[in-house]
């Protein structure tokens, strides 16, 4: 990647951690096992975990001097990221999620792309995977263009400039220039930071050669809470930034509104308030929910026939859960803002 005259730049891996006992050790090992010529360090921002995560991390740190920790008592992700970044020392900063694992060769490829393109931030593809039938089904939704709207880092695309990047491999000076992560944002902080980087003249680059394994939430309740919070904070970002926002942000809330409208019209028809030609006219409101239901069933049962039926039958539960939770959260956030909305799937 680099000649003897131009040694590989040092890399700091930063990771906010809260209640990740089942994942954090694998995440850390995926970092330490990266084959990279430059100096490496891992800085973890430890939230107040209650499941043994902190003990696991401290045990690993005791056995490896490359691992350091900082306290993040409030457990907010952007605050933890900033604490870890400011405690780190290297010119390249790699964000890592405790629910993820870097694929072999990730660091070498990312730094090479960063240097060759001159970009401020580089990211690649999130490859969701699951250990249980439910988690595997959620992973399928993450990886599907019908699940999360076909963003580059979910569906893949050719290398080139991008709106945002999954996790991210940053030049330290780009983070400093942008002012680090916005600590008032609890979800979507990466998209907002990349927006400021681009507006400041920096480039965000997508490289499909970069791949990260991501482990989704393990049960339905956690999935609902995660996606509601994500939707609410996405709406908060829309409120703050009056500029152009991708159309995919608005599809889930429109779906939620169409379902609510269908329920209202159905009640009015059943009670006789709406009847005759007027009732027939308003029945058009049912078209969107029916079309969505048919699409979900088609994607669930026929789009991936190599999967066993047991997993295909879970998909009609998972996909609407993600869309409707996100859309409901978006509407709440759009109406009153996202202040006070937390992702409790990480704490409960």
DSSP 21-79: TTTHHHHHHHHHT---SS-EEEEEEE---SSSHHHHHHHHHHH-TTEEEEE-TT--HHH
- For residues 55 and 4, what is the distance between their CA atoms, to the nearest angstrom? 40
For the segment 293-302, the average pLDDT, to the nearest whole number, is 86
- Is residue 84 classed as helix, strand or coil in its secondary structure? helix
Tell me the pLDDT tens digit for each residue of 113-140: 999 999 999 999 999 999 999 999 999 8
Are 87 and 5 within 8 A, CB to CB?
Answer: no
Prediction pTM value: 0.87
Q: Is-contact 319 301, C-beta < 8 A?
A: no
Q: Is the pLDDT of residue 154 over 60?
A: no
**Which tokens hold the place of 68?**
């350091």
- Distance, in Å, from the CA atom of 106 to the CA atom of 122, rounded to the nearest integer, reads 11
Q: Please check whether residue 28 is in contact with residue 77, taking contact to mean a CB–CB distance below 8 angstroms.
A: no
Residue 105 pLDDT exceeds 70: yes
Residue 151 has pLDDT above 70, yes or no: no
Residue 2 has pLDDT above 60, yes or no: no
pLDDT at site 4: 43
Q: Please state the rounded mean pLDDT for residues 62-90.
A: 95
HSE-up (13 A, CA, CB side) for residue 116:
12
Average pLDDT for 249-267: 94
Instruction: Choose which CATH entry (3.20.20.70, 3.90.550.10, 3.40.50.300, 3.40.50.10540) describes domain 11-216.
Output: 3.90.550.10
On the 0-12 / 13-18 / 19+ scale of CB atoms within 10 A, 84 is buried
pLDDT confidence of residue 148:
74
CATH 3.90.550.10 residue window(s) in the chain: 11-216
From 91, 240, 105, 114, select the one nearest 165 (Cα to Cα).
Answer: 114
pLDDT of 1 over the 50 cut: no
Number of C-beta neighbours around residue 118 at 10 A: 10
Confidence at residue 24, expressed as pLDDT on a 0 to 100 scale: 95
């Amino acid at each position: 990647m680099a000649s003897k005259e131009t040694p590989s730049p040092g890399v700091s891996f930063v990771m906010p951690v809260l209640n990740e006992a089942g994942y954090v050790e694998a995440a850390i090992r995926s970092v330490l096992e990266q084959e990279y010529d430059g100096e490496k360090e891992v800085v973890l921002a430890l939230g107040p975990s209650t499941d043994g995560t902190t003990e696991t991390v401290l045990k690993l740190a005791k056995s490896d001097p490359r691992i350091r920790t900082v306290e993040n008592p409030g457990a907010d992700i952007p605050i933890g990221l900033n604490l870890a970044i400011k405690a780190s020392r290297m010119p390249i900063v790699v964000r890592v999620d405790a629910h993820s694992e870097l694929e072999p060769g990730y660091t070498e490829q990312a730094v090479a792309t960063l240097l060759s393109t001159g970009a401020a931030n580089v990211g690649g593809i999130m490859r969701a995977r699951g250990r249980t039938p439910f988690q595997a089904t959620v992973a399928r939704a993450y990886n599907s263009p019908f699940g999360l709207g076909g963003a580059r880092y979910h569906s893949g695309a050719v290398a080139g400039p991008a709106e945002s990047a999954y996790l991210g491999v940053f030049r330290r000076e780009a983070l400093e220039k942008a002012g680090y992560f916005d600590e008032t944002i609890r979800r979507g902080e990466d998209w907002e930071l990349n927006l400021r980087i681009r507006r400041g003249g920096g480039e965000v680059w997508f490289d499909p050669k970069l791949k990260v394994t991501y482990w989704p939430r393990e049960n339905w309740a956690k999935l609902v809470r995660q996606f509601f919070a994500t939707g609410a904070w996405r709406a908060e970002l829309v409120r703050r930034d009056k500029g152009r926002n991708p159309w995919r942000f608005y599809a889930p809330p429109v779906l939620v509104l169409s379902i609510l409208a269908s329920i209202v019209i159905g009640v009015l028809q059943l009670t006789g308030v709406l009847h005759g030609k007027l009732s027939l006219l308003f029945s058009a409101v049912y078209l969107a929910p029916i079309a969505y239901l048919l699409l979900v069933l088609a994607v669930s049962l026929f789009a991936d026939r190599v999967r066993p039926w047991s997993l295909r039958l879970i998909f009609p539960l998972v996909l609407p859960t993600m869309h409707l939770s996100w859309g409901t959260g978006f509407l709440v956030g759009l109406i009153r803002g996202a202040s006070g909305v937390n992702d409790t799937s990480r704490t409960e």
